Amino acid sequence: MIKNKNTQMKWIILLLAIAVILPTVCLLWFMTQAVKNERLAIRQKLVDSYLARAEDIFYKFPETFWSQEKNHGIICSHVLYDANENITYPVVPENFPDLFKTNELPDSIHKIWKLEFTDNNYPQAIKEYETLSNASSQGDIKHECHLGIVRCLTKQNKLPEAVKICHELAYPDEYIEGKYTPQLICQDRLMLASLYSRTNDKDLLKELQKQIPETIKLFIISEKKIFILNQLIDIAKANDLTESLKTEIKNAKKIIDKSLVSLEVVDYFEQNPDQKSHALNSFYKIRVSEPLYGFYLKINNGKMLNLVKKYDMIPFWQKSIVDFSDELVFCRIFDNDGQLIAGDASEGELFKTLNLKNHFQGWKAELYLRSGIFNQAADKKRFIYIWVASIVIVLMFASTLLASSAVLKQAKLNRLKNDFIATVTHELKTPLASTRLLVDTLLEGKCADKQQETEYLQLISKENARLGRLIDNFLTFSRMERNKQVFAMTPTSPVEIANAATEAIQTKFEKENVHFTMDIAKPLPMINADKDAMTTVLVNLLDNAYKYSNENKEIELRVFVDDSNVCFAVKDNGIGLTRRQMKKVFDKFYQADNSLSRKVEGTGLGLSIVKFIVDAHKGKIEVESKIGKGSEFKIKLNS
């Protein structure tokens, strides 16, 4: 019957939806046809207007690129060429070998190196270095001898003497300085900084403040400059001077980055010589690890390749993009390789592609109309109708869903009421019928002897107790539903609760087929609980364990402490529960077997009352069960 009602509701909802949607669709179609021609006319006017605006911005902007000095700041590095297309920076210029190379050292120096590095005879090596230095007039030989003396003194831990000689090498007088290459002087100064670092010299900070800027200015091999600057930065970090040298380190890292960029480009050109030649004054993409853009400028006796990183191109173009874009249009800039450089990522309709000129030959600007802009302008009324129709449809569906939910809920409630009435009738009828039969037998005096009379009276007492438990459950449930149940919370011993529950159900457990054990851990803390209510909880659990166990019943009650909680666990070897049954076992009126011919008595209220009492004590109840192997109910209460 419920299924038929649900089917009817679906048809009603469908008909209502058709009645609302069909007129709305027709209205929208007529409105669309009415504004179509007007929208096309407006579009053409907008396209013509924005095209003229774009040509004015994107053609003139590249032409004035170098006239704006602020744009020069986007250049991150350079590669220099001579008139013969040979690279002169950042690699070593072949036509200036004396700036970076030294003469070959005599064989005698190799013998001294053996004393120093192989024999570790530092005093003798120092003597030999001094003798060779005094005998030679060549600056590079004198320099190597003095450098050897510094190394030997350092290895002998004679640091003050080593610092003195190294300082003379790092800062020679004008006559000697002309005989040293800038590269040698940088190396000497790096060694001096290292010695200062080892001696914790107070002059280290001043030395680094001086060395880092001078190293940046010196014309030396790029690889050597990168190495020396990195070493100086490491010395500053090791001596906690990074904050004091913040500006110097920042500038050094910029130079390192520029040098690395230039070297990477040179390596790229060596591997891809066809990418080396491009038109002057025009940006093109260089496909290195971090994409770069380069353009050639003519300089005296050669040319210069200026390099710009991709992310520096974005703010470069952003001004033009902002000048062009508004609430109706936007644009995107693409490089000569077809890669997006800058622009709005919104969806839109492409209406023109401009090929850029001058410094950006091969680049293009794509112009877009923003998606839906004409619908917003021309179809405003249609959208109002759509919103109204949508609200009506939503309200209609919401009302239908609420009504359906109410009907289903009422049907479920009626089903529960019918099940409850049938259960109560069955549970009350059986003990009443048994009691009446036994009383009639006693009244008619049909008992064979005094023993049989006593047995009948015990049976009557048992049925009365059963009725009493049923009525107690009904009353407890009634108070629970009306929130009238009041618990008297007092400090209570868990042992007393367990003993009280065991005594209440002891009569059942004295039978031959019941093996009951109680395990109480010691010591146990007191709990704040209603003793009678918690006794009722355990009695219900023990009674269920008895009812749902097999013929040879094994029931266990354990009381213990688990993670500062007092736990009561009732375990049996009964029929067990499925996963679905475990999820519903604490629901009101729920029973695994709903038939009136079931073997086990009960109303389906016991475990819902247990859950209510445990929740009122701010505790938790858990169940673990396997079909055919039994169940375990565990209660946790705060101590």
The reported pLDDT for the residue numbered 161 is 92
Q: How confident is the model at residue 462 (pLDDT cuts 50, 70, 90)?
A: low
> Distances from the Cα of 467 to the Cαs of 372, 475, 524, 528, in angstroms?
75, 12, 35, 31
Residue 124 has pLDDT above 80, yes or no: yes
19: burial class by Cβ within 10 Å (0-12, 13-18, 19+)? exposed
d(CA 552, CA 159): 93
Per the document, the length of the chain is 639
Q: How confident is the model at residue 392 (pLDDT cuts 50, 70, 90)?
A: low
> Distances from the Cα of 284 to the Cαs of 67, 330, 333, in angstroms?
20, 24, 14
Is the pTM here over 0.85, yes or no?
A: no
d(CA 170, CA 182): 10
Which of 280-284, 323-327, 552-556 is the least confident region?
Answer: 280-284
Tokens of 359: 């410094």
The reported pLDDT for the residue numbered 99 is 44
Task: Output 226 or 441, whichever has higher pLDDT.
Answer: 226
> CB neighbours of 285 closer than 8 A, spacing ≥ 6?
291, 292, 293, 335, 336, 337, 339
Q: Please count the other Cβ atoms lying within 10 Å of the Cβ belonging to residue 528.
A: 13
Task: Output 591 or 119, whichever has higher pLDDT.
Answer: 119
Which of 260-264, 294-298, 414-418, 630-634 is the least confident region?
Answer: 414-418
Q: Which residues of 565-582 are buried (b: 16+ CB within 10 A; e: fewer)?
A: bbbbbbbbbbbbbeeebe
Tens of pLDDT, residue by residue over 133-157, are: 888 878 778 888 988 999 999 999 9
d(CA 539, CA 503): 9
Q: How confident is the model at residue 1 (pLDDT cuts 50, 70, 90)?
A: very low
Return the bridge partners of 570, or none: 557, 633
Helical residues (DSSP H) of 351-379, grouped into ranges: 373-378
Domains of the chain: 97-268 (1.25.40), 486-638 (3.30.565.10)
Task: Output 3 or 30, whichever has higher pLDDT.
Answer: 30
Q: How confident is the model at residue 169 (pLDDT cuts 50, 70, 90)?
A: confident
Q: How confident is the model at residue 125 (pLDDT cuts 50, 70, 90)?
A: very high
Are the CB atoms for 573 and 550 separated by under 8 Å?
yes
d(CA 192, CA 195): 5
The pLDDT > 70 percentage for the chain reads: 70
Here the contacts of 30-33 (C-beta below 8 Å, separation 24 or greater) are 31/379, 31/381, 31/382, 31/385, 32/379, 32/382
Residue 571 has pLDDT above 90, yes or no: yes
Task: Output 464 or 201, whichever has higher pLDDT.
Answer: 464
Residue 495 has pLDDT above 90, yes or no: yes
Tens of pLDDT, residue by residue over 542-559, are: 988 888 888 889 999 999
Residue 569 has pLDDT above 90, yes or no: yes
- Please give the single-letter amino acid code of residue 407: V
Q: Please give the average per-residue pLDDT across 68-77, as a whole number.
A: 73
Tokens of 27: 């209205």
Residue with tokens 């009493």: 468
- Please give the single-letter amino acid code of residue 425: T
Are the CB atoms for 229 and 265 separated by under 8 Å?
no
Residue 631 has pLDDT above 80, yes or no: yes
- Please give the single-letter amino acid code of residue 548: Y
The reported pLDDT for the residue numbered 428 is 60
Which of 176-185, 207-216, 280-289, 488-497 is the least confident region?
Answer: 176-185
Which of 408-417, 448-457, 495-504 is the least confident region?
Answer: 408-417
Q: How confident is the model at residue 386 (pLDDT cuts 50, 70, 90)?
A: low
Residue 175 has pLDDT above 50, yes or no: no
Q: What's the whole-number average pLDDT of the chain?
A: 78
The reported pLDDT for the residue numbered 560 is 95
Are the CB atoms for 252 and 229 separated by under 8 Å?
yes
The reported pLDDT for the residue numbered 381 is 53
Task: Output 607 or 493, whichever has higher pLDDT.
Answer: 493
- DSSP percent split of the chain into helix, strand, coil, nearest 5: 60, 15, 25
Question: DSSP assignment, residue 280?
Answer: B
Q: How confident is the model at residue 221 (pLDDT cuts 50, 70, 90)?
A: confident
The DSSP-derived string for 425-490 is HHHHHHHHHHHHHHHHHHHTT--SSHHHHHHHHHHHHHHHHHHHHHHHHHHHHHHHHTT------E
Which of 198-207, 249-258, 340-349, 400-409 is the least confident region?
Answer: 400-409
Which run of H or E residues covers position 570? strand 565-571
d(CA 78, CA 91): 12
Beginning with the edge strand found earlier in the chain, give each strand of the sheet holding 553-562 in spatial order. Answer: 514-520, 553-562, 565-571, 630-638, 620-626
Are the CB atoms for 368 and 332 separated by under 8 Å?
yes
Residue with tokens 């005998």: 135
Tens of pLDDT, residue by residue over 574-618, are: 888 888 888 888 877 676 655 444 455 556 677 888 888 898 889
